[in-house]
Amino acid sequence: MRFCSILATLFAALLLCGETPRIIYSAQGGKVKSFDPVLADDLGSFNIIGALFDTLVQYDYTRRPYTLKCSMLAEMPRFSKDFRSCRFKLRADLNFADHAVFKTLPRGTRITADDVFFSLKRLCDPRKNSPLYWILRGKIAGMDQFRNAAAKAAPFDFSPYDLPIPGMIKHNDLEFTLRFTSPQPRFLYLLAMPSTAVVSRQAEEYYRSKSGDFPVSSGPFILKKHLRDYKLHLTRNPNYRREFFAEAATSSDRRRPLPLADEIILYTVKQPVTAWLLFLQGNIDYNSIGKDDADLVAGGELPQALQKRGIQLLRSPSFEVRYIGFNCNDPLLSKNRKLRQALSLAYNVQRRIIHANGQLLRAHTPIPPGVAGHDAEFRNPWSADDLAKARRLLAEAGFPGGEDPRTGKPLRLTFDQSGDTTSHRQIAELTQKEFKELGIDLECIFNFKPRFFDRLRRNRMQLFRLSWTGDYPDAENFLQLFYSGNSGSCNRTGFSSAEFDRLYERIVTLPDSPERQILCKEAAALIAAEAPWIFEGYPVSYQLLNPWLENFLPHDFEFTRLKYLTIDPAKREKSRKSFKPLSFSDLR
């Protein structure tokens, strides 16, 4: 077996020799908040973390519905029958990228169970103040003991990590068990998230407060250069575990070790028109289309001039739901369900779909399509764009004609957004006009993001506009937004319902089953009736691909996509030479 492995390695090396370097260029993902997995909480940072660090499990890139498979593991984990524990076995070929911190270690760069324990504890360390701590909160037995010890320790005192906890049992360097405080049938989804990626304790001790600027990779790429607000340059990690992509578009690439590209260059481009021009010039390989350019693909087809270039259009719903939240701690809104329902009926979603140039699908519940528990037949009666019904409900709510009986004047509400762009102002003006038709005055407030979330945290809002992007493909991840135990975190409205809480607590503990799907649908219908949100919609994304790019697939959990992408350098060069300048009429 050892001899066969050596032959396979030599064969893969021969495939890589003498080739023109495969370099992917993109204007997506160049702006990153942090290279630290526990501090990254936005999609752009997640995708870079997924390129630099490895996770225990990963989503299959091609299978739908979304399916988990091994990443750093030799085999899929084995749960106990009651889902209160899970046993894992790591692959034997796992290594961090070469770095000076490993030179004095007897095990060198090798990754072991200790690194997994360190990484999970680090996500829960109160000194890191991770915005993603909630995904593990209260789940692993004894983790609160670690948190208490870490909270009392000095900033860079690593001794709390050496304290054993009952929820982490090491059998040997490659095998370990996690024990949970309650049944956790969907725990593996959390281990596919970039936040739980495996990092090096030695690197953390070496860089300390700067570890988020100098990532020591466990994933397919290494950070070669980061020029803030300009570009990121990633290169292949030679220490990355052996992995192949059997469904690669080019047959010879199916025998080429991942990542398929040698380098990735990601530019930070602030203006969409700049990215669009770079794409047309062939200087970036793929590009998204925003709502202002969506008329390019009216009717779902590209202009003939782009089709002749071989450019491909991909259209796919995003794993995201947009909503207007009602502050359920507000004395007026919390106690008046009919008022919330009336405002929901007045909020015309069809107009938002037109405003978004068709890049929005109407939402009837918080659970998006493609998730177990989504009910495609359900129609939310309070999301019907029905002004006449809204007026009747408003009168039943105690505000006939929109008049506030306490003042004799129009009822006055506030509406906060987390930006001041043209799009934010258009949404505000549209909402203002619709509520005015009910006789209600709406004060629109435009905030910078820090101020928005500060006002939200301090209950200074009545209505606010937000969205939620799913962390994993399960209804639980969307229903948690209404659980009273999450109030103040992902439950932004502060909604509380004993009936919903009972349903949610049952859903969380059940394994996937028809019974669980029925409960998810019941919970979603209950939320629709209670109307803590105005359901706006699920965004639709458009991607344009140049003809030399291969293996780009729509994926809601795109953290690992970069390792599958590749280009045909000869085709790129030939296509670029054949480009002719395009006129505005060519793009119609």
How confident is the model at residue 316, as a pLDDT?
87
Could you read off the pLDDT of 366-410 as tens digits, one per residue? 998 878 788 889 999 999 889 999 999 999 999 999 999 999 999
Say whether pLDDT at 2 is over 80.
Answer: no
Could you read off the pLDDT of 571-587 as tens digits, one per residue? 999 999 888 777 666 66
For domain 54-207, the question of CATH label 3.90.76.10 is answered with yes
**Mean pLDDT (whole number) for 227-236:** 92
Q: Which CA distances in Å does 168 have to 153, 161, 490, 504?
A: 21, 12, 27, 27
**Mean pLDDT (whole number) for 348-363:** 89
How confident is the model at residue 347, as a pLDDT?
96
pLDDT band at 1 (very low <50, low <70, confident <90, very high): very low
Determine what percent of the chain is predicted with pLDDT higher than 90: 75
Determine what percent of the chain is predicted with pLDDT higher than 70: 94
At 533, which amino acid appears?
W
Residues in contact with 220: Cβ distance below 8 Å, sequence separation at least 6, in sequence order: 51, 54, 236, 237, 240, 258, 259, 560, 562, 563
**Mean pLDDT (whole number) for 88-112:** 91
CA angle, corner 231, sides to 228 and 235, nearest 5?
Answer: 115
Q: For residues 141 and 124, is the Cβ–Cβ distance under 8 A?
A: no
Backbone angles phi, psi at 136, to 5 degrees: -110, -5
pLDDT band at 6 (very low <50, low <70, confident <90, very high): very low
Could you read off the pLDDT of 145-164 as tens digits, one per residue? 999 999 999 999 999 999 99
**Mean pLDDT (whole number) for 63-68:** 91
3-state secondary structure of 42: coil
- CATH 3.90.76.10 domain range(s) in the chain: 54-207
Indicate whether this model's pTM tops 0.85.
Answer: yes
- Say how far residue 315 (Cα) sits from the centre of its chain: 18
And the tokens for 495?
């909604």
| Reduced 3-state DSSP string for 190-204 | HCCCHHHCCCCHHHH
C-alpha to C-alpha distance for 281 and 293, rounded to whole angstroms: 17
- CATH 3.40.190.10 domain range(s) in the chain: 19-53+219-311+546-588
Domain 320-539 fold: Dipeptide-binding Protein; domain 3 (3.10.105)
With tokens 């990153």, the residue in question is: 32
Say whether pLDDT at 204 is over 90.
Answer: yes
Q: For residues 268 and 231, is the Cβ–Cβ distance under 8 A?
A: yes
Of the ranges 122-136, 263-277, 364-378, the best mean pLDDT one: 122-136
- CATH 3.10.105.10 domain range(s) in the chain: 320-539
Domain 19-53+219-311+546-588 fold: D-Maltodextrin-Binding Protein; domain 2 (3.40.190)
Residues in contact with 57: Cβ distance below 8 Å, sequence separation at least 6, in sequence order: 68, 69, 70, 71, 72, 73, 76, 77, 188, 191, 192
Closest CA to 429 of 418, 439, 419, 415: 415
Give me the residues paired with residue 177 across strands.
87, 169
And the tokens for 472?
């994993």
Q: For residues 534 and 324, is the Cβ–Cβ distance under 8 A?
A: yes
